Amino acid sequence: MALVVQKYGGSSVADASCIKRVAQRIVATKKGNDVVVIVSAMGDTTDELLDLAEQVSPLPPARELDMLLTSGERISMALLAMAIANLGHEARSFTGSQAGVITDSTHGKARIIDVTPSRIREAIDQGHIAIVAGFQGVSQDTKDITTLGRGGSDTTAVALAAALEADVCEIYTDVDGVFTADPRIVPAARKIPKISYDEMMEMAACGAKILHLRCVEYARRFNLPIHVRSSFSTKEGTWVVADPYNEGTEMEQPIISGVAHDRSEAKITVVGVPDKVGEAATIFKTLADAEINIDMIVQNVSAAATGRTDISFTLPTADSQTALAALKKIQPQIGFESLLFDDQIGKVSLVGAGMRSHPGVTATFFAALADAGVNIEMISTSEIRISVVVGQDGVDAAVAAAHRAFDLDADQVEAVVYGGTGR
Amino acid sequence: MALVVQKYGGSSVADASCIKRVAQRIVATKKGNDVVVIVSAMGDTTDELLDLAEQVSPLPPARELDMLLTSGERISMALLAMAIANLGHEARSFTGSQAGVITDSTHGKARIIDVTPSRIREAIDQGHIAIVAGFQGVSQDTKDITTLGRGGSDTTAVALAAALEADVCEIYTDVDGVFTADPRIVPAARKIPKISYDEMMEMAACGAKILHLRCVEYARRFNLPIHVRSSFSTKEGTWVVADPYNEGTEMEQPIISGVAHDRSEAKITVVGVPDKVGEAATIFKTLADAEINIDMIVQNVSAAATGRTDISFTLPTADSQTALAALKKIQPQIGFESLLFDDQIGKVSLVGAGMRSHPGVTATFFAALADAGVNIEMISTSEIRISVVVGQDGVDAAVAAAHRAFDLDADQVEAVVYGGTGR
């Protein structure tokens, strides 16, 4: 009997009728499989709890915020277990702590360091459906309740699936799977039937919000297949696996799997940095000490005449003020000339394992952007990704142009790359 | 340094501003004391959660209902800890399980079987204020989350106070303490400054809703002083102690401490029971098997002519239909004639340790009822209590008449019994 781990997000359990629908889906899966379900808090619960916290304290202690927020999953998981019981199946809900999700002590963004799911295993062995609270765990050192931060429920699902050696981890969402581009920007975007962990990680890191980077990393480490699919239909979604093109009927892998974009970053340029050894290191050490995650970094060639260079980097817009303040503090020490700040940018990324073996991808991409009249401000590449920073008002045009240039638009692709199978 | 355990009910933490007010009170107590706080769920939270449960299942499993309901205290305790932190004090919240409240496995009405508060002790030793979820624990056998049922938060408070060897357990409520009668019925009722465990238990068992029987029983076992007081004032409330009259300035103890009443019971009469050994046993065994709690029982003297007798008893009105059905089943076996049912009754009880040494209490009580035109249907007594069942429309008159007859009305009492100290 296969073991299926399913994860339902907040929108899938937003109210009683949603919960009953999810319960039916779980019971249907239980016919022929063992089932473990990870569930998020209902719809707006987390926001309501945060609002309450704000009413009693402008700066609530992180430990207590975690205690507060974890009540959200406690409610949804108990209700889901009740709804399943009402359909005649035995279901038991477990907190992260009861499910053996052991984390470090970093409240609000704890990392899973171990999963010891003996109680879940026991529930499965007794023929029960186990419902587990997503997003939460218990700290190894202090035994305090922790939360995993963004993407936490997906990560719980994958970590638990790996620990239980599940056959698949199904991530339910409100869209049909991972798309070649955001369908709101590219109406011709289509669902990707299979994608590799590496590509999915690049997509996630570049703004595709459907799966969080951490959860894909975790799945890759344990070679656990993820199936991203809609909780509103029974259609196949997107499979995230190690080697998607080595099996089945596909003749060749697509060059580009998808086009991701991200409008949440800003750009800072440190102008006139003396071109000496260690100056860049000092700048990024300062930013790291301020706990700012830097994304792209570009350093121009030093102008020989001045002996100075410009260093540009992107970072989450929310961290901009902290970063600017930290840099101003070291201006006398470094001796750079000025700081430029631009939050009207967007990042557009092409992701595809196929680009390894296809030269000319960069040329095609840049030509498409030029034809669309989009100016490139920064460039960064990895083995299977090309990202460019453009003006924020050029993002939509850039995504659409790239999608078209690489024959990803639905009519072409279904026929050409996937041989018309529709998968 | 004294250790004070405080318990705040749902109405004391109904919203953010209530929580902030309670936080100030706790911080004020912390000046000069160690403080452990037990808190209930906010205002209507429990009802809202029950409503959600009803929407997903008409008969939710008890284990899952407990999981659901315990999220209520999780929210209030975290918010309270935040509000205290915002006043500059360190507070840490703990679930029942974390606080070491070990129970049996009877979901919905679990009994505390042990309290191992090592984490609470540790928090106190570090100078922190510990906030503990009331009403909940963890089962010894299954490690499942349990709830303690009615009066559960008070019981948590007393049990934890006993385990921590606290100096006092303060129970905060929305009235000033325990009154000689319900002030809505007897405007001249006054606050009782001190009362014994035994009297308080009789009061609780007879309908005084301010403290639950279980919590007073627990306090008596460990000789832990309870101070029932208002969360809206700093006035002294009612002290519940072992021997309230052996200290201080009181000249003599009052004969009657208070008049309790209860409208939640109904009366069933089994008419024409053959007067044979074992018939009454069969009747009450049947009711016990149906898990019905019987309160008062009266058996009339057998009428020699018929060899039959009538047995009347009172029980919670909510259990009436179950009881009647169970009795009808054994009618052929017992051979009683018929069943009478009356839910228009009320119980009025006089409670007072002083009645041990004062003859004539019953006579005065019954005369007062007669003068008030109230007919007595059943009588039951203990060493320190006299209860009568009367028609429901006679309850108010009976309470008022008894209160007056025993000089409990405010003007007289303050002067006569307590020597004008007002305590």
**How does pLDDT run across B247-281, given as a tens digit for each residue?**
544 556 678 899 999 999 999 999 999 888 888 88
Q: How far apart are CA B44 and CA B72, in angstroms?
A: 9
Q: Which whole number is the average pLDDT over A28-51?
A: 95
User: Given a cut of 80, is residue A249 above it in pLDDT?
Assistant: no
Together in a domain, A24 and A134: yes
User: Given a cut of 90, is residue A281 above it in pLDDT?
Assistant: no
* Tens digits of residue pLDDT in A340-380: 999 999 999 999 988 877 778 888 999 999 999 999 988 88
- The closest CB to that of B16, out of A52, A92, A95, belongs to A52
Q: What is the pLDDT of residue B275?
A: 81
Cβ of residue B67 closer than 8 Å to a chain A Cβ: yes
Together in a domain, B72 and B154: yes
- The closest CB to that of A83, out of B49, B57, B98, belongs to B57
Q: Which residues of A touch B65 (CB under 8 A)?
A: 78, 82
Q: Element (H or E) spanning A65, and its range?
A: helix A62-69
- Compute the radius of gyration of chain A from its Cα atoms: 23
Contacts of A360 (CB under 8 A, 6+ apart): none
Together in a domain, A168 and A251: no
Q: Which residues of B touch A53 (CB under 8 A)?
A: 78-79, 82
| pLDDT class of B411 with cuts at 50, 70, 90 | low
Q: Which whole number is the average pLDDT over A395-423?
A: 67
Q: How far apart are CA A69 and CA A40, in angstroms?
A: 11
User: Given a cut of 80, is residue A52 above it in pLDDT?
Assistant: yes
Give the domain-ending residue among B146, B174, B202.
B174
Distance from CA of B361 to the nearest CA of A (A): 53
Least confident of A101-115, B245-259, B399-413: B245-259
Highest mean pLDDT among A69-83, A395-409, B302-316, B348-362: A69-83
User: Given a cut of 70, is residue A184 above it in pLDDT?
Assistant: yes
Together in a domain, B141 and B20: yes
CA A352 to chain centre: 17
Together in a domain, B118 and B257: no
* Tens digits of residue pLDDT in B103-157: 999 999 999 999 999 999 999 999 999 999 999 999 999 999 999 987 899 999 9
Cβ of residue A61 closer than 8 Å to a chain B Cβ: yes
User: Given a cut of 60, is residue A422 above it in pLDDT?
Assistant: no
Nearest by Cα to A14 from B294, B179, B52, B133: B52
Other C-beta atoms closer than 10 Å to the C-beta of A409 total 19
Q: Where are the alpha helices (DSSP H) in A256-319?
A: 279-289
Number of domains in chain B: 2
Together in a domain, A313 and A414: yes
Residue A393's CATH number:
3.30.2130.10
* Tens digits of residue pLDDT in B189-247: 999 999 999 999 999 888 888 898 889 999 999 999 999 999 888 999 999 999 887 65
3-state secondary structure of B344: coil
Residue A210: inside a domain: no
Residue ranges of A 255-274 with Cβ closer than 8 A to chain B: none
Counting residues of chain A whose pLDDT is more than 90, the rounded percentage is 72
The upper half-sphere exposure of residue A148, i.e. CA atoms within 13 Å in the direction of its Cβ, equals: 27
The length of chain A in residues reads 423
Together in a domain, A157 and A45: yes
Which residue is listed with tokens 């939360």? A147
Residue A187: inside a domain: no
The whole-chain average pLDDT of chain A stands at: 90
Which residue is listed with tokens 């402008």? A58
Contact A77/B67, CB-based, under 8 Å? yes
The whole-chain average pLDDT of chain B stands at: 90
CA A350 to chain centre: 16
Residue A189: inside a domain: no
Give the domain-ending residue among A174, A194, A215.
A174
Q: What is the pLDDT of residue A410?
A: 74
Distance from CA of A145 to the nearest CA of B (A): 10
- Contact between B389 and B378 under an 8 Å Cβ cutoff? The reply is yes
Q: Which whole number is the average pLDDT over B412-416?
A: 40
Give the domain-ending residue among B155, B174, B193.
B174
Domain that holds residue B294: 248-423
- Contact between A267 and A387 under an 8 Å Cβ cutoff? The reply is no
- The closest CB to that of B74, out of A19, A74, A79, belongs to A74
H/E/C letters for each residue in A98-132? CCCEEECCCCCCCCEEEECCHHHHHHHHCCCEEEE
Q: How far apart are CA B384 and CA B202, in angstroms?
A: 8
Q: Which residues of A touch B60 (CB under 8 A)?
A: 82, 85-86
User: Given a cut of 70, is residue A214 above it in pLDDT?
Assistant: yes
Q: What is the pLDDT of residue B416?
A: 33
Other C-beta atoms closer than 10 Å to the C-beta of A396 total 18
> Which tokens in the block code for residue A161?
């699936």
Q: How far apart are CA B374 and CA B290, in angstroms?
A: 34
Q: What is the pLDDT of residue A144?
A: 96
Nearest by Cα to B134 from B3, B9, B221, B5: B9
Least confident of A286-295, B21-30, B300-309, B409-418: B409-418
**What does pTM read for this prediction?**
0.83
Q: How far apart are CA A188 and CA A182, in angstroms?
A: 10
Residue A369: inside a domain: yes
Q: Element (H or E) spanning B289, and its range?
A: helix B279-289
The length of chain B in residues reads 423
Nearest by Cα to B315 from B378, B236, B406: B378
Q: Which whole number is the average pLDDT over B333-347?
A: 94
The upper half-sphere exposure of residue A139, i.e. CA atoms within 13 Å in the direction of its Cβ, equals: 17
Quote ipTM for the complex: 0.80
Nearest by Cα to A8 from A168, A229, A239, A233: A229
Counting residues of chain B whose pLDDT is more than 90, the rounded percentage is 72
Residue A207: inside a domain: no
Q: What is the pLDDT of residue A245?
A: 76
Q: How far apart are CA B341 and CA A410, in angstroms?
A: 75
Q: How far apart are CA A262 and CA A276, in angstroms?
A: 33
Q: What is the pLDDT of residue B421?
A: 30
Q: What is the pLDDT of residue A301?
A: 67
Q: How far apart are CA B139 and CA B147, in angstroms?
A: 10
Residue A188: inside a domain: no
Q: Which whole number is the average pLDDT over A119-136?
A: 97
**Strands B129-133, B91-94: pairing kind:** parallel
Together in a domain, B25 and B168: yes
Distance from CA of A74 to the nearest CA of B (A): 6
* Tens digits of residue pLDDT in B165-186: 999 999 998 889 999 999 999 9
- Contact between B364 and B335 under an 8 Å Cβ cutoff? The reply is no
Other C-beta atoms closer than 10 Å to the C-beta of B381 total 14
Q: How far apart are CA B241 and CA B141, in angstroms?
A: 34
| pLDDT class of A216 with cuts at 50, 70, 90 | very high
Q: Which residues of B touch A81 (CB under 8 A)?
A: 61, 64, 67
- The closest CB to that of A60, out of B63, B85, B92, belongs to B85
Together in a domain, B52 and B136: yes
Together in a domain, B167 and B262: no
Q: Which residues of B touch A57 (CB under 8 A)?
A: 82-83, 85-86
Q: How far apart are CA B218 and CA B196, in angstroms?
A: 13
CA B91 to chain centre: 29
| pLDDT class of B420 with cuts at 50, 70, 90 | very low
Cβ of residue B64 closer than 8 Å to a chain A Cβ: yes
Q: What is the pLDDT of residue A210?
A: 87
Residue A217: inside a domain: no
Together in a domain, A270 and A167: no
Residue A41's CATH number:
3.40.1160.10
Residue B223 DSSP one-character state: T
Q: What is the pLDDT of residue A299?
A: 80
Q: How far apart are CA B277 and CA A423, in angstroms?
A: 81
Nearest by Cα to B286 from B330, B321, B317, B320: B330
Q: Element (H or E) spanning A405, and its range?
A: helix A395-405
Residue A335: inside a domain: yes
Q: What is the pLDDT of residue B251?
A: 54
- The residue of B37, B49, B64, B84 whose CB has the most chain A CBs within 10 angstroms, and thus the best one to mutate to test that interface, is B64
Q: Which residue of B has its CA nearest to A82?
A: B60
Q: How far apart are CA A97 and CA B398, in angstroms?
A: 55
Together in a domain, B281 and B415: yes
Q: How far apart are CA A406 and CA A385, in angstroms?
A: 14
| pLDDT class of B304 with cuts at 50, 70, 90 | low
Nearest by Cα to A148 from A115, A114, A108: A108
Residue ranges of B 10-39 with Cβ closer than 8 A to chain A: 16, 19-20, 23
Q: Which residues of B touch A55 (CB under 8 A)?
A: 16
* Tens digits of residue pLDDT in B80-101: 999 999 999 999 999 999 999 9
- Contact between A149 and A192 under an 8 Å Cβ cutoff? The reply is no
User: Given a cut of 70, is residue A21 above it in pLDDT?
Assistant: yes
At position A213, the amino acid (one-letter code) is L
